[in-house]
A and B are shown apart, each in its own frame.
Chain A
Amino acid sequence: MHEWAIAEGIVSTVVSFSLKEGAKKVAKVVISVGELSQLNLEILRDAIKELSEGTIMEGAEIVFQVEEAMFKCSSCGFSWSFSSVKKNLLRMFCGEDVEECDNPVHYVPDLVNVFLRCPKCGSPDFEISSGRGVNIVSVEVVK
């Protein structure tokens, strides 16, 4: 799992942004997490908290907004959700009946086109219409 590496990016980005804004402290950070990244939010939250220690982000409220991952086929126009096909992906890498496991899409979400196909026409040519990765949606600071 690479939650720690993601957390490093989040903390560095928030601290850098807040300092530029002239903040003394970060009060709240809202983070959008795409479902496709398959991040473990507990680990991510703990990593952010630990890495924030000693920075102006220490003690900030962390809010995650999980964005549903959706795909749209460029060949037939069909739309479907990642949750409806997630088991197929996990089965390829970890066998049957697992809820989560390490797989390439966790590290590079765009690799989903390598492993999944449009459920309707079988095409690998589809786009990720939502829920791809991680973004910092808002930062509330105290000046």
Chain B
Amino acid sequence: MERALDPREVAIDKRFKGIKYSVLVLSGKGGVGKSVISSIISLLLAKEKFKVGLLDLDLHGPVIPRIFSLENMEPEESKHGLVPPEACGVRIMSLAFFTEDKPLPLRGSSKTEAIKEVLAITNWGNLDFLIVDMPPGTGDEVLTAVKYVKGKKGALVVSTPSALTVSVTLRTLNLLKDLKVPIIALVNNMAYLRIGEEVVKVFGNANLVSLTREFNIGEYVELPIEPRINSLIESGKVAELTYTEIALKLGNLIEKLKTRALA
């Protein structure tokens, strides 16, 4: 043997054999709404009776357990790995189950190891969809996640209309192109706010449509700032996120995901 063998590599391969399609939800910058969008997509798919997993890989800002009011839960031990807790039909895994609110001060190689470990130990069972709330940026953890999320997959890139965010989004799109990850959709989050009859572009009006042409992205979605989302999460009414304007706007995207998973 030329080098030691890492048993996690084969273990990860086996885990993904039971998953039909993975959606990597990425953004160049943090705080653009990636986790909320990942959650709503998961809920919409679960509502249609698909088997859905939601993996929170945002190592430094994991909020998925909070969105689903699962902060006090822990994955259950089983003979074949850790079984993710379930809420509203979505199986959820996050390092926040282990770290609670404590910071996770990891350097590059440790992030890679932690992600590999989570992918190797999580027993998802069979899934139609695994939605992966990715770490922001284009660093080690993103490269690791893209490499080890095996099988059929596509990326959903979340931006905002701010010119600053768009410049970073461009980097993410270029990285995905270089890594040959199909880009399913570009989501322009926080694109507008409705105040009565008026539509206000709070964060700017950068042209994201041109990016969809440049990168040949089939689906472009503009999502509003919807204050109701925050109050639903804070009051623990996560299932009601599927009745928001954002959920309605994600309808076409859900149909596309179904087509890709079943293809």
User: Closest CB of chain B to A142's CB: distance in Å?
Assistant: 16
Q: Known interface pairs A110-B110, A114-B104. Does A5 touch B5 (Cβ–Cβ under 8 Å)?
A: no
User: Closest CB of chain B to A57's CB: distance in Å?
Assistant: 13
B145 interfacial contact with A, CB 8 Å: no
Kindly supply a per-residue 1/0 record for chain A positions 2-43, scoring 1 wherever the CB is within 8 Å of any chain B CB and 0 otherwise: 101110111011101100000000000000100000000000
Assembly CA distance A108 to B79 (angstroms) = 17
Q: Across the interface, which residues of B come within 8 angstroms of A133, CB to CB?
A: 6, 8, 113, 117
Kindly supply a per-residue 1/0 record for chain A positions 119-143, scoring 1 wherever the CB is within 8 Å of any chain B CB and 0 otherwise: 0000011011000111111110000
Assembly CA distance A32 to B111 (angstroms) = 21
From A4, A12, A128, B110 is in contact (CB under 8 Å) with A128
Assembly CA distance A93 to B121 (angstroms) = 20
A107 interfacial contact with B, CB 8 Å: yes
A76 interfacial contact with B, CB 8 Å: no
Whether the Cβ atoms of B11 and A5 lie closer than 8 Å is yes
Whether the Cβ atoms of A5 and B113 lie closer than 8 Å is no
Whether the Cβ atoms of B7 and A9 lie closer than 8 Å is yes
How many of B's residues come within 8 Å of A, CB to CB? 33
- The size bracket of the interface on A is 35 or more
B105 interfacial contact with A, CB 8 Å: yes
How many A-B Cβ pairs are below 8 Å? 104
Whether the Cβ atoms of B113 and A136 lie closer than 8 Å is no
A59 interfacial contact with B, CB 8 Å: no
Most chain B CB inside 10 Å of its own CB: which residue of A1, A110, A125, A132:
A110
Whether the Cβ atoms of A5 and B123 lie closer than 8 Å is yes
Q: Top 4 nearest A-B pairs by Cβ distance?
A: A9-B7, A9-B11, A104-B98, A135-B4
Whether the Cβ atoms of A16 and B98 lie closer than 8 Å is no
Whether the Cβ atoms of A2 and B82 lie closer than 8 Å is yes
Q: Across the interface, which residues of B come within 8 angstroms of A128, CB to CB?
A: 110
User: Closest CB of chain A to B6's CB: distance in Å?
Assistant: 6
Q: Across the interface, which residues of B come within 8 angstroms of A32, CB to CB?
A: 4
Q: Which of B5-31 contact A (CB under 8 A)?
A: 5-11, 14
Chain B minimum-CB-distance residue to A126: B105
Whether the Cβ atoms of B5 and A135 lie closer than 8 Å is yes
Q: Across the interface, which residues of B come within 8 angstroms of A102, CB to CB?
A: 77
Q: Across the interface, which residues of B come within 8 angstroms of A55, CB to CB?
A: none
Assembly CA distance A5 to B80 (angstroms) = 5
Q: Which residues of B come within 8 Å of A, CB atoms? A: 1, 4-11, 14, 77, 79-82, 95, 98-99, 102-107, 110-111, 113-114, 117-118, 120-121, 123
Assembly CA distance A8 to B120 (angstroms) = 11
Q: Known interface pairs A1-B77, A5-B81, A111-B99. Does A134 touch B107 (Cβ–Cβ under 8 Å)?
A: no
Assembly CA distance A102 to B98 (angstroms) = 11
Assembly CA distance A12 to B105 (angstroms) = 33
Chain A minimum-CB-distance residue to B110: A110
Most chain B CB inside 10 Å of its own CB: which residue of A9, A128, A139:
A9
From B1, B14, B95, B105, A108 is in contact (CB under 8 Å) with B95
Q: Known interface pairs A17-B5, A108-B98. Does A127 touch B79 (Cβ–Cβ under 8 Å)?
A: no
Whether the Cβ atoms of B106 and A9 lie closer than 8 Å is no
Q: Known interface pairs A5-B80, A13-B9. Does A114 touch B102 (Cβ–Cβ under 8 Å)?
A: yes
Q: Across the interface, which residues of A come within 8 angstroms of B7, CB to CB?
A: 6, 9-10, 12-13, 134-136
Chain A minimum-CB-distance residue to B109: A127
Kindly supply a per-residue 1/0 record for chain A positions 80-120, scoring 1 wherever the CB is within 8 Å of any chain B CB and 0 otherwise: 00000000000000000000001010011111011100000
Q: Across the interface, which residues of A come within 8 angstroms of B102, CB to CB?
A: 114-115
User: Closest CB of chain B to A108's CB: distance in Å?
Assistant: 5
Q: Across the interface, which residues of B come within 8 angstroms of A104, CB to CB?
A: 98-99
Whether the Cβ atoms of B4 and A137 lie closer than 8 Å is yes
